[in-house]
């Protein structure tokens, strides 16, 4: 996939109606937004379009209404918050591609901003229905995709509309593609990737793809135990993906053949049972990863593993991290994840954190400002690391 895409700055938007796909899938409770981070993240692109005389038509999904009109998933609360942030009324459409949306889009003046209703209120959205794509495109002259979090989905509002309009990226997507794209295509070396999370099966293709690119691959979290078992170690009651043992052996062999250093935890924090509730104090101890007791399970990486992983991160020039090292929601079992986050914060390398739990950990621990880039897309960033083509990126015009 070509990572060099045209941006909003490479196309004349003055006087043009610009359909801008954002990720306004914000968390809510009791009809109120609990975090407006995704709305704030979209502001640079929206403000650029306003400043340069575009007639801005925003669209997004929220939740999974599955083609049904669900009032609790209306984007009206997003329009209200966006109005506050922009200091200007954001016109709210009563529908997606109906009479109200089209009339309001046609009446827009330069610098005006409107928001369409939840695009997933229409069943054709997630099916990339050409008719819906045409309807969306009919309201605009230019398409801007600034929703990296949905770029791995070939939906009408993320990719289909680009069949009918000139398509470029907004600042958020541009940043994701340029930083992550360079890291995968032409990284400063040594290049270290750190993978965690529960299951090997969740990251099969990521591991395989990264072994083609990195100098060191570090594996922690629950997925490490299947690799340890593949090496013949006893893993006790630890999470084990028995169907992927042969795959892990293949990856260990591939790393050896390619001269990639593959690091697994040399020691492990274990307990007799999984903590329940999640924040309950549990009795833990640290053991050598080669001899986890039969009646215990691994729940975090040990102190020696933390030091080894941290050293690899600190001496790297590029680091990509996706997935926690243990049950980081529990303070007792968060030390491995904290150590990795701290190592990235202390490193002089280009540091990239994938979406989901890793990003949440960095933000909760206060390390976000020290990280080069925290991805805004969980599934999208994983597919990026797999080397897959993302439909919402591939559909954009290539820069010259």
Q: Could you give the maximum distance between any two Cα atoms of the chain, in Å? A: 71
Catalytic residue among 70, 134, 182, 199: 199
Of 26, 381, 357, 320, the C-alpha closest to 173 is: 381
Q: Is 14 a catalytic residue?
A: no
15 part of the active site: no
φ, ψ of residue 135 in degrees (nearest 5):
-60, -45
d(CA 220, CA 196): 5
Judge whether 199 counts as a catalytic residue.
yes
Token pair listed for 317: 């020039």
Answer yes or no: are the C-beta atoms of 215 and 190 closer than 8 Å: yes
Cβ–Cβ < 8 Å for 351, 375: no
What's the start-to-end Cα distance of the chain, in Å? 15
Q: Which residue in 81, 96, 97, 69 sits closest to 27, CA to CA?
A: 81
38 carries an active-site annotation:
yes
Catalytic residue (choose from 63, 98, 111, 379): 379
Distance (Å, whole) CA 240 – CA 250: 17
> How many residues are there in the chain?
400
Q: Which of 356, 377, 378, 392 is catalytic?
A: 356
> What's the angle, vertex CA 127, arms to CA 184 and CA 38, rounded to 5?
55
**DSSP assignment of 292-351, as one string?**
--TT-EEEEE-HHHHHHHHHHHHT-SEEEEES-SS-TTSGGG-HHHHHHHHHHHH--SEE
Catalytic residue among 16, 38, 104, 306: 38
Q: Contact, 385 vs 209, CB < 8 A?
A: yes
How many C-beta neighbours within 10 Å does residue 273 have? 12
Q: Are 291 and 323 in contact (CB under 8 A)?
A: no
Q: Which residues are catalytically annotated?
A: 38, 199, 356, 379
């Amino acid at each position: 996939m070509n990572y060099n895409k045209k941006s909003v700055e490479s196309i004349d938007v003055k006087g043009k109606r610009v359909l801008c796909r954002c990720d306004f899938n914000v968390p809510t409770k009791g009809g109120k937004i609990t975090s407006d981070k995704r709305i704030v993240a979209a502001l640079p692109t929206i403000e650029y379009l306003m400043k340069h005389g575009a007639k801005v038509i925003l669209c997004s999904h929220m939740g999974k209404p599955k083609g049904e009109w669900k009032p609790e998933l209306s984007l009206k609360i997003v329009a209200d918050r966006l109005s506050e942030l922009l200091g200007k009324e954001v016109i709210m459409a009563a529908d997606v591609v109906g009479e109200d949306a089209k009339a309001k889009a046609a009446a827009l003046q330069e610098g005006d901003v409107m928001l369409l209703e939840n695009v997933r209120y229409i069943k054709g959205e997630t099916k990339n229905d050409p008719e819906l794509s045409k309807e969306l495109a009919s309201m605009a002259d230019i398409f801007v995709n600034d929703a990296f979090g949905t770029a791995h989905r070939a939906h009408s509002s993320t990719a289909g509309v680009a069949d009918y309009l000139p398509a470029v990226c907004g600042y958020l997507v541009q940043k994701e593609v340029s930083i992550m794209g360079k890291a995968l295509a032409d990284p400063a070396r040594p290049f270290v990737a750190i993978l965690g999370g529960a299951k090997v099966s969740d990251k099969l293709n990521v591991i395989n793809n990264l072994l083609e690119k990195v100098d060191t691959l570090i594996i922690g979290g629950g997925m490490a135990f299947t690799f340890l078992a593949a090496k013949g170690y006893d893993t006790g009651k630890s999470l084990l993906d028995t169907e992927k043992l042969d795959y892990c052996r293949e990856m260990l062999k591939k790393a050896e053949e390619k001269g990639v250093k593959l690091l697994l935890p040399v020691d492990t924090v274990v307990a007799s049972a999984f903590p329940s509730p999640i924040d309950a104090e549990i009795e833990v101890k640290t053991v050598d990863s080669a001899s986890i007791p039969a009646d215990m399970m691994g729940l975090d990486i040990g102190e020696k593993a933390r030091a080894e992983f941290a050293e690899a991160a600190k001496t790297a020039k590029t680091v990509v991290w996706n997935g926690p090292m243990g049950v980081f929601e529990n303070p007792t079992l968060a030390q491995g994840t904290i150590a990795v986050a701290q190592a990235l914060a202390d490193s002089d390398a280009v540091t990239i954190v994938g979406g989901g739990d890793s990003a949440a950990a960095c933000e909760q621990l206060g390390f976000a400002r020290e990280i080069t880039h925290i991805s805004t897309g969980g599934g999208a960033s994983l597919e990026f690391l797999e080397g897959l083509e993302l439909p919402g990126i591939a559909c954009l015009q290539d820069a010259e």
